[in-house]
Each structure stands twice: as structure tokens, then as C-alpha cells.
């Protein structure tokens, strides 16, 4: 890692300016339909609350109906005058065959989709954790699951974009400061199978998935083509109080606590990526977003790894094709 990039990564965590887009200046979301995966916990819940307060129809997608029910009750109590809707959408990103049913459930309930925020994820689970299909848990949950879910919803996103202002329909992807600690190019792919390497170190495996999401965001934008009005970008939400820390050791939690910010600041980063005028401009599409809503740079070898991003996309396509 170069000294300049190390300094930039440091500046992404500290000395951060005022969020440019918050609940105070977010436009009314009446009539818009929005999905937040992991929308009932952490910054996902904070984002859902902000969107609901602005009268949006917000789908909280995840595995736990009870957690969603509690979050819905809490959010509604905070914003009793909202004209929006809060809906639970069952989604298990770690079980690929079930994702199509989740997408079909949504498609049976709505005729449009304005913003898909791929917020959900898992960080540093116990060693050896795998998905239902035996993928390393972080790769499966953070990358393969969101990839498949996004692909299944792309036709509706495209349909919605055709009748909305250019750049207002968006897909955003959860990256992290951890991209700074990912392998060279962001991802190490097997030269024969194209599969990403499982390092066996939970921190390196996590960092790789976050870099992979940055690559997927850019590749999705590229593959949509110049004629598409959908915007795709990835974001580093910042160092936050989050359920992602549930798998950390005691020492890791002590260190993390000294470096993290209130959860709502992550929602402000997501707001900028998914709702700001700046991120929707043609020249900014696909750019990487940092805390609490500004364009920042990826590590140079990740930014320049166009070939690796394409190869990783193709691996994701191959692994999920049977579940489309």
C-alpha cells in the first residue's frame, strides 16, 4: 500500500466534513419504491427510517421477520405523520435458490423500483463459516447473493428508469475501508476456474469481498451501457456502530469502539450514493463514494483492475445462472 493511499484511507475515517445530504434536506420520496437489504439493523435501519420519514415506500429485506417487525414499529413511532409504507421482504443472501422467490415476491407487489441499496452483509464470522451452497460465507453473502438479487430486479429497474429523470434510478453496493487491505487488484482469481481465492483469514476474505463489490458496481455500470439511465456505485459507509461487529473478539471490539461513529452517519453515505444529484450526474456514474457523502479514490490497483472486475462478474454469472 502506497503512502499516499494510506493517507487517503486515513482521511476517509477522520477529519470528515459535514454530510451534504441528510434527513434535513432529502427531497420528498412520495411515490418512490425503495429496497434496503439489511434494512432493519444498523445503518440500513437508519436509512430506512430516513426514507420513510420522507414518505417513501421502503422494503426492509432480510431473513428475520421478528427483527423487521420490531424495526417497523420503532420507525413508525419515530415518524407518526409519514405517508410512506414499510414492508418486510424475506431475503436470505446466503442461500442462492431462495433469492429468486424473494425477487418474485417483490415483483408481485410493486410495479416500480427506484433505488436498490445492497446494504446487507457479514463481517469476519467464525472461521470455516459457509453458505447453504458451501461458499465462503462472506463471499456468498456479500457478493454472490446481492449479485443475483440485483440481476433478478434489473428488468424492473430498467423499466422504472425509462419513465423517471435520468440518473434517479440507482443500484448501490456496500464496500468498506477494508478494500485498502484486500489482495492485489482487489481479488485473487483462480486462473483455471475464475473462482476467488479463499484465504482462510477472515479479515482478508472480508476485505476481498468489499473490493469485489466495488468492482461489481463499476462492472454493472459498464454492462448497462451508455443508453441506460440507471446509476451504479459502491460506497464506504465509514467506521460505524454496527451489527457487523458481532463476530469480533473482545480486543477487536475495544479497538473498534475507539474509531467508530454513530450509525446514522453510514446512512448519510448511502443517501449520497443513492439519492444525491451529484452521484446521478453522467460524469460521476460509477464513482466510489466515501463518508459521509463525497467521491473518494479506490486503491490504484483496484481502480485499474478492469479485467479482474470483468472476470469476477463472469464467475458470479456462472455460479448464479441456475438460480435465475
Alpha-carbon gap, residue 302 to 320, rounded angstroms: 24
CB 308 within 8 A of CB 190: no
The set of cell numbers assigned to 11 is 482521511
Model confidence pLDDT, tens digit, residues 50-93: 999 999 999 999 999 999 999 999 999 999 999 999 999 999 99
pTM for the model? 0.93
Q: Residue 3's pLDDT band (boundaries 50, 70, 90)?
A: low
Closest CA to 270 of 88, 7, 58: 58
Degrees, nearest 5: CA angle 7-9-10: 60
Q: What is the pLDDT of residue 2?
A: 55
201 Cβ contact list (under 8 Å, min separation 6): none
Model confidence pLDDT, tens digit, residues 93-109: 999 999 999 999 999 99
184 is catalytic: no
Q: What is the pLDDT of residue 246?
A: 53
Q: Residue 226's pLDDT band (boundaries 50, 70, 90)?
A: confident
Q: What share of the chain is helix, strand, coil (3-state, %, to 5)?
A: 50, 15, 35
Instruction: State the catalytic residue, choosing from 210, 220, 268, 288.
Output: 210
Model confidence pLDDT, tens digit, residues 283-315: 999 999 999 999 999 999 999 999 999 999 999
Model confidence pLDDT, tens digit, residues 236-277: 999 886 554 455 566 656 555 556 889 999 999 999 999 999
Alpha-carbon gap, residue 108 to 102, rounded angstroms: 10
Q: What is the pLDDT of residue 13?
A: 65
Helix 202-224, helix 306-320: angle, nearest 10? 90
257 is catalytic: no
Alpha-carbon gap, residue 211 to 226, rounded angstroms: 24
Alpha helices in the chain (DSSP H): 3-13, 42-53, 65-78, 96-109, 137-139, 145-161, 202-224, 250-257, 264-275, 277-280, 300-303, 306-320
Q: What is the pLDDT of residue 14?
A: 67
Rg of the chain (C-alpha set)? 18
Strand-strand pairing, 169-174 and 115-118: parallel
Instruction: State the catalytic residue, choosing from 59, 206, 268, 288.
Output: 206
| Residues 273/113/131/141 CA torsion (nearest 10 deg) | 0
CB 6 within 8 A of CB 17: no
Amino acid at each position: 500500500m502506497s503512502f499516499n493511499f494510506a493517507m487517503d484511507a486515513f482521511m476517509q475515517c477522520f477529519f470528515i466534513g459535514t454530510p451534504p445530504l441528510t434527513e434535513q434536506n432529502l427531497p420528498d420520496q412520495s411515490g418512490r419504491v425503495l429496497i434496503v437489504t439489511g434494512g432493519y439493523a444498523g445503518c440500513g435501519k437508519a436509512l430506512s427510517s430516513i426514507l420513510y420519514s420522507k414518505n417513501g415506500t421502503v422494503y426492509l429485506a432480510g431473513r428475520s421477520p421478528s427483527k423487521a417487525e420490531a424495526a417497523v414499529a420503532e420507525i413508525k413511532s419515530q415518524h407518526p405523520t409519514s405517508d410512506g409504507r414499510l414492508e418486510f421482504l424475506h431475503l436470505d443472501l446466503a442461500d442462492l435458490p431462495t433469492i429468486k422467490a424473494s425477487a418474485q415476491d417483490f415483483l408481485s407487489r410493486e410495479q416500480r423500483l427506484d433505488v436498490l441499496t445492497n446494504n446487507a452483509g457479514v463481517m469476519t464470522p467464525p472461521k470455516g463459516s459457509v453458505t447453504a451452497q458451501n461458499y465462503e460465507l462472506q463471499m456468498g453473502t456479500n457478493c454472490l447473493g446481492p449479485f443475483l438479487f440485483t440481476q433478478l430486479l434489473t428488468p424492473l429497474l430498467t423499466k422504472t428508469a425509462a419513465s423517471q429523470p435520468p440518473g434517479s434510478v440507482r443500484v448501490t453496493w456496500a464496500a468498506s475501508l477494508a478494500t485498502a487491505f484486500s489482495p492485489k487488484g482487489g481479488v485473487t482469481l483462480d486462473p483455471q476456474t475464475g473462482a476467488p481465492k479463499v484465504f482462510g483469514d477472515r479479515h482478508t476474505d472480508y476485505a476481498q469481498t468489499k473490493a469485489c463489490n466495488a468492482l461489481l458496481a463499476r462492472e454493472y455500470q459498464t454492462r448497462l451501457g451508455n443508453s441506460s439511465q440507471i446509476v451504479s456505485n459502491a460506497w464506504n459507509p465509514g467506521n460505524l456502530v454496527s451489527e457487523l461487529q458481532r463476530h469480533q473478539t473482545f480486543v477487536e471490539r475495544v479497538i473498534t469502539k475507539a474509531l467508530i461513529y454513530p450509525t446514522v452517519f453510514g446512512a448519510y453515505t448511502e443517501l449520497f450514493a443513492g439519492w444525491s444529484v451529484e452521484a446521478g450526474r453522467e460524469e460521476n456514474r460509477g464513482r466510489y463514494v466515501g463518508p459521509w457523502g463525497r467521491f473518494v479514490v479506490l486503491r490504484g490497483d483496484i481502480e485499474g483492475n478492469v479485467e479482474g472486475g470483468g472476470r469476477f462478474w463472469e464467475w458470479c454469472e456462472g455460479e448464479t445462472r441456475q438460480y435465475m
